[in-house]
Structure 1
């Protein structure tokens, strides 16, 4: 008795994932990094605020010294910069919380992409 073979070709199993699978996995892992960074910013709010505070102190003094070298004007503007610090902290933290996780994720992705 003769048997007929199935002429449909079976799809060979590959051990190497396809390019789309790699991209999907890569995107999923980068989404995980973004989520972890967002979590980190939320959990470490006090640390982020202290970092922004230090950056404001150093940056404002350097900017004022560069743009206003005359002594009397320089002192007045530094005093104004100290008064505006609380407003800066609120705005800077909102901006940091909203934008930094994505910016850091993109930067890290560029560092690991070949």
Structure 2
């Protein structure tokens, strides 16, 4: 947050407040559904963005290289551990191929 304080306050705070407002007004609905989008657009006058564009290089943890049929992916330690310990499989959004760990130690 230190590197992105202004953007964090401008984007993330209204984003999270919109979730609270939607819950109070509509109860349990889709997290980024039409009600949430309405609050973002009409009350906060902001685009209903669900992803940020913050520079996270300084806080980003170790990543692990995986490949599919079309590209290289870098997974977080959390996802890597799920694959290793829980036999979870992740698929590429583009080619739908299984992500395979690139083990540098082999």
TM-score by length of 2: 0.25
Structure having the larger proportion of residues in strand: 2
Greater relative contact order (CA < 8 Å, ≥ 6 in sequence): 1
* Structure with the greater alpha carbon radius of gyration: 1
